[in-house]
RNA sequence: GCAUCCAUAGCUCAGCUGGAUAGAGCAACGGUUUUCUAAACCGUAGGUCAUAGGUUCGAAUCCUAUUGGGUGUACCA
């Protein structure tokens, strides 16, 4: 069952009538798609507007005359259309107030408002996908929040969603940390050092790099080129040997690997919990890195791949504007794309999903283009459901973050800084004297994380994002705390007024702002659907901001609602407030943000 | 070199499949509290939508070129 809100119904109704009008008045068939209905701009009378320029071709009249023809027809034929005015080529329609009140009573106040019908689709969202050689940084935070939110949006949009995390737990980079720890760690553990496990391992990753660089420099002094030195440094050779030992199931190496990965997982668990993200299933590359060779055989058999003289296997994508791409090394070992081919097949076999979203940075655009194209060429029907949600890098004012150069914003540090800032700001306002310690801590957490999450999610995922560590994230204006505050304020109001949901009389008079609220609040279900469709928490964030802003305007305009003596008016205003609060709460939840009852 | 993404106010960003006079927030300046939470509200100021062409009744939006930036172009992942 497709989503159908009152707003959609009336738009369809008007569109259909306009088509009919063109038929009757001008004896022409106009396609519905030519008739766009939009909100009427605030400075004009009316709520809905038809742009009539496209109709002029059919009417052979001026835009004004055409608009007037249509306006007269719509007033005569649609009950809800009470009046119209024409400004240039724009036909502004006034919709009966009773219609909007009916929408409030029967749609917005309904308990299942904002709950979309199932669309029967199964969707996988793969996100996070960390390396186990270093702690999470701000770039990972963006990935995690995006992936989580997109998954929640898809669920809210009616899909069945599986969140999965493909952990990159093996490879040369992991061996680097392991080797450095073995050489210089003196048996240091999270317990002995008090360091969080992922940070401890990350420390040795950095040490490896430092020592490796020293060796490279030494070799360069001996006359080797940069490239030679990088290849010949003893440390890298040791790391490579360790990787081979790992692949050969060397007991000692595997044990070390288990131990250090265990530390990292314990650390990640804390970070994930702080960020409020979760997964339905974990995949580990240590289990999947050998996959894909069957797929390679399949491709060879189908003639999609070809073998070079040295035995390496390739695909020629030059006809598609891409390059030739290696899919299997001459020695029969996998490359990145080999395992991704295999993993894609495995994930599909596991879940039989209709769509699969990979939340991965835009530096891998090319890789996914190739991956999806190959799967398609292999005749995988499900390949058309694959989608790379490619998000932009998080940059610092100084440029890109680099773990090895220490210019990263650490995820755990950032989270604690945000909580600390929330604490300071909240204490400065002094509104929560009666909170228990536990309530205070929960509030600081919710506000701090709310500010952070909103900050990262409000910008279009595709765009790169600038984070300036020297400027703290705002708590005022278009921010998470602003929306949280609006919610808390409404809840306080509803409590004081002992609010009970009830319909309002059909003949009540609405102020301009109240009418605007009904119109804006009524768009919520469509906002969910569109945010889910476009995989964009940003559109939801911006919508929620509009809602909060409009409420605050309304709240200031209107005399104290609690003291309102006109019962119908009081009910109307409380209903509008309550619907606003519900939308803010459930919408923010889709962003992974908790809104407090008081703050 | 080739591929690909991006360029909107001092800063950070909205602007949906082309529609009315391009909008917010921050920063700046001014105002609002005996009234339901001032993390709020109202106002002032701030723009050649990178540049040049083109398509169109109409372009920030679509097309082409140019400039400037990001990323990729590994038998790394």
State residue A192 phi and psi, 5-degree precision. Answer: -70, -30
A237-295 pLDDT, tens digit each: 999 999 999 999 999 999 999 999 999 999 999 999 999 999 999 999 999 988 998 99
Nucleotide whose C1' lies closest to the alpha carbon of residue A400:
B70
Give burial (CB, 10 Å; 0-12/13-18/19+) of A448: buried
Strand B-proximal residues of A, range 274-333, CB below 7 A, are: 285, 308, 310, 312, 321, 323, 326, 329-331
Q: Is residue A13 part of a domain?
A: yes
Contacts of A183 (CB under 8 A, 6+ apart): none
Q: In the beta sheet, which residues pair with residue A281?
A: A164
Kindly state the greatest CA–CA separation across chain A: 93
Residue A398 CA distance to nucleotide B66 C1' (Å): 28
Q: Is residue A259 part of a domain?
A: no
- Whether the CB-CB separation of A102 and A506 falls below 8 Å is answered with yes
Mean pLDDT for chain A overall: 94
Handedness of CA A390, A396, A400, A406 (dihedral sign): negative
A466-478 pLDDT, tens digit each: 898 888 899 999 9
- Whether the CB-CB separation of A228 and A219 falls below 8 Å is answered with yes
Mean pLDDT of A221-226: 88
Strand B-proximal residues of A, range 90-129, CB below 7 A, are: 90, 92
Which pairs with CB-CB distance under 8 Å and at least 24 residues apart come from A236-239? Answer: A236/A212, A238/A179, A239/A172, A239/A175, A239/A176, A239/A179, A239/A208
Residue A392 CA distance to nucleotide B71 C1' (Å): 9
Mean pLDDT of A515-520: 96
Mean pLDDT of A19-35: 91
A404 Cβ within 7 A of any nucleic strand B atom: no
State residue A402 phi and psi, 5-degree precision. Answer: -130, 115
Nucleotide whose C1' lies closest to the alpha carbon of residue A542:
B14
Domain with A87 in it: what CATH number? 3.30.1360.70
Which pairs with CB-CB distance under 8 Å and at least 24 residues apart come from A17-22? Answer: A17/A73, A17/A74, A17/A77, A17/A78, A18/A50, A18/A55, A18/A70, A18/A73, A18/A74, A20/A77, A21/A69, A21/A70, A21/A73, A21/A74, A21/A77, A22/A55, A22/A58, A22/A59, A22/A70
Whether the pLDDT of residue A2 is over 70: the answer is no
The C-alpha torsion from A552 through A554 and A555 to A557, rounded to 10°, is 120
- Whether the CB-CB separation of A421 and A472 falls below 8 Å is answered with yes
Q: What is the pLDDT of residue A32?
A: 87
CA distance A536 to A513: 28
Domain with A551 in it: what CATH number? 1.10.730.10
Nucleotide whose C1' lies closest to the alpha carbon of residue A366:
B72
CA distance A590 to A416: 23
A294-345 pLDDT, tens digit each: 999 999 999 999 999 899 999 999 888 888 999 999 988 888 899 999 999 9
**Model confidence at A526, in pLDDT bands (50, 70, 90)?**
very high
Say how many Å lie between the first and final Cα of chain A, rounded. 40
The C-alpha torsion from A483 through A486 and A491 to A492, rounded to 10°, is 140
Highest mean pLDDT among A202-211, A395-404, A467-476, A487-496: A487-496
Strands of the sheet containing A324-328, edge to edge, are A306-307, A313-316, A324-328
Whether the pLDDT of residue A1 is over 70: the answer is no
CA distance A297 to A293: 6
Q: What is the pLDDT of residue A43?
A: 86
A144-193 pLDDT, tens digit each: 999 999 999 999 999 999 999 999 999 999 999 999 999 999 999 999 99
Residue A463 CA distance to nucleotide B7 C1' (Å): 12
Q: Residue A350: CA atoms inside 13 Å, Cβ hemisphere, count?
A: 16
A417 Cβ within 7 A of any nucleic strand B atom: no
Q: Is residue A381 part of a domain?
A: no
For A531, other C-beta atoms within 10 Å of its C-beta total 27
Domain boundary among A63, A95, A127: A95
Residue A477 CA distance to nucleotide B19 C1' (Å): 30
Higher-pLDDT residue of A550, A309: A550
**Closest protein CA to C1' of nucleotide B32, residue:** A556
A496-516 pLDDT, tens digit each: 999 999 999 999 999 999 999
Q: Is residue A579 part of a domain?
A: yes
H helix or E strand, kind and range, residue A67: helix A63-77
Strand B nucleotides, any atom under 7 Å from protein beta carbons: they are: 3-6, 11-17, 19-21, 24-27, 35-42, 57-58, 70-77
Residue A324 CA distance to nucleotide B2 C1' (Å): 14
The C-alpha torsion from A175 through A177 and A178 to A183, rounded to 10°, is 120
**Model confidence at A17, in pLDDT bands (50, 70, 90)?**
very high
Q: What is the pLDDT of residue A389?
A: 95
Q: Is residue A228 part of a domain?
A: no
In Å, how far from its chain's centre is CA A75?
43
Mean pLDDT of A564-570: 95
Q: What is the pLDDT of residue A64?
A: 93
Q: Which of A459, A483, A486 is nearest to A545 (CA)?
A: A483
Give the range of the structural domain holding residue A502, as residue numbers without chain letter.
411-590
What phi-psi label fits residue A16: left (phi over 0), alpha (psi between -120 and 50 degrees) or beta?
A: alpha
Q: Is residue A247 part of a domain?
A: no
Q: What is the pLDDT of residue A33?
A: 86
For A333, other C-beta atoms within 10 Å of its C-beta total 12
C-alpha distance from residue A1 to each of A116, A120, A349 (Å): 9, 9, 27
**Ranges A217-221, A521-525, A592-596: which has the least confidence:** A217-221
Nucleotide whose C1' lies closest to the alpha carbon of residue A334:
B75
Q: Is residue A533 part of a domain?
A: yes
CA distance A276 to A162: 16
Number of domains in chain A: 2
Q: Residue A564: CA atoms inside 13 Å, Cβ hemisphere, count?
A: 18
Q: Is residue A335 part of a domain?
A: no
A526 Cβ within 7 A of any nucleic strand B atom: no
What ipTM goes with this model? Answer: 0.96
Give burial (CB, 10 Å; 0-12/13-18/19+) of A438: exposed
**Closest protein CA to C1' of nucleotide B40, residue:** A552
Token pair listed for A441: 């801590």
Domain boundary among A50, A75, A95: A95
Nucleotide whose C1' lies closest to the alpha carbon of residue A599:
B37
What phi-psi label fits residue A171: left (phi over 0), alpha (psi between -120 and 50 degrees) or beta?
A: left
Domain boundary among A48, A71, A95: A95
- Whether the CB-CB separation of A391 and A361 falls below 8 Å is answered with yes
Whether the pLDDT of residue A104 is over 90: the answer is yes
CA distance A44 to A139: 45
**For chain A, what percent of residues have pLDDT higher than 90?**
86
Q: What is the pLDDT of residue A36?
A: 85
Mean pLDDT of A364-386: 94
């Amino acid at each position: 069952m497709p989503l159908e809100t009152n707003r959609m119904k009336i738009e369809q109704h008007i569109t259909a009538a306009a088509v009919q009008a063109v038929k009757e008045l001008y004896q022409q068939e106009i396609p519905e798609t030519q008739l766009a209905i939009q909100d009427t701009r605030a400075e004009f009378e009316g709520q809905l507007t038809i742009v009539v320029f496209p109709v002029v071709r059919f009417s052979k009249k001026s835009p004004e005359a055409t608009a007037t023809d249509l306006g007269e027809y719509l007033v005569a034929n649609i009950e809800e259309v009470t009046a119209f005015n024409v400004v240039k080529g724009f036909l502004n329609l006034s919709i009966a107030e009773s219609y909007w009140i009916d929408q409030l009573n029967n749609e917005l106040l309904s308990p299942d408002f904002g709950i979309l019908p199932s669309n029967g689709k199964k969707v996988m969202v793969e996100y996070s996908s960390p390396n186990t050689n270093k702690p999470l940084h701000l770039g990972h935070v963006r990935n995690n929040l995006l992936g989580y939110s997109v998954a929640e949006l898809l669920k809210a949009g009616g899909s069945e969603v599986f969140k999965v995390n493909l952990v990159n737990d093996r490879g040369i980079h992991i061996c680097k940390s392991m080797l450095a720890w073995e050489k210089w760690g003196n048996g240091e553990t999270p317990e002995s050092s008090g360091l969080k496990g992922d940070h401890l391992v990350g420390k040795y990753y950095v040490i490896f790099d430092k020592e490796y660089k020293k060796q490279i420099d030494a070799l360069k002094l001996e006359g080797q080129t940069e490239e030679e030195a990088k290849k010949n440094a003893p440390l890298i050779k040791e790391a490579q040997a360790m990787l081979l030992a790992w692949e050969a199931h060397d007991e000692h190496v595997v044990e070390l690997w288990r131990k250090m990965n265990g530390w990292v997982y314990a650390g990640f668990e804390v970070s994930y919990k702080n960020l409020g993200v979760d997964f339905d299933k974990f995949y580990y590359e240590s289990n999947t890195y050998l996959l894909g060779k069957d797929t390679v055989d399949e491709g060879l058999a189908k003639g999609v791949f070809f073998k070079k003289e040295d035995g390496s296997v390739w695909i020629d994508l030059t006809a598609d504007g891409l390059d030739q791409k290696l899919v299997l090394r001459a020695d029969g070992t996998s490359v990145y794309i080999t395992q991704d081919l295999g993993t894609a097949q495995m994930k599909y076999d596991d879940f039989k999903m209709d769509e699969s979203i990979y939340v991965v940075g835009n530096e891998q655009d090319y890789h996914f283009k190739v991956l999806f194209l190959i799967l398609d060429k292999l005749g995988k029907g499900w390949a058309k459901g694959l989608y790379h949600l490619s998000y932009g890098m998080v940059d610092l004012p100084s440029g890109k973050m680099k773990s090895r150069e220490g210019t990263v914003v650490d995820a755990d540090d950032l989270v604690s800084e945000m909580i600390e800032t929330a604490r300071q700001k909240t204490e400065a306002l002094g509104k929560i004297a009666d909170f228990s310690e536990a309530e205070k801590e929960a509030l600081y957490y919710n506000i701090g994380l709310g500010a952070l999450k909103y900050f990262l999610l409000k910008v279009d995922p595709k765009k790169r994002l600038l984070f300036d560590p020297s400027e703290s994230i705002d708590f005022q204006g278009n921010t998470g705390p602003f929306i949280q505050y609006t919610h808390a304020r409404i809840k306080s109001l509803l409590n004081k007024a002992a609010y009970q949901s009830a319909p309002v009389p059909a003949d009540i008079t609405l102020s301009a702002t109240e009418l605007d609220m009904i119109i804006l609040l009524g768009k919520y279900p469509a906002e969910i659907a569109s945010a889910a469709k476009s995989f964009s928490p940003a559109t939801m964030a911006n919508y929620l901001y509009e809602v909060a802003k409009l409420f605050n305007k309304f709240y200031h305009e209107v005399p104290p609602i609690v003291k309102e003596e006109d019962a119908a008016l009081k009910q109307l205003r409380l209903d509008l407030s309550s619907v606003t609060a519900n939308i803010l709460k459930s919408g923010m939840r889709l962003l992974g943000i908790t809104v407090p009852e008081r703050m």
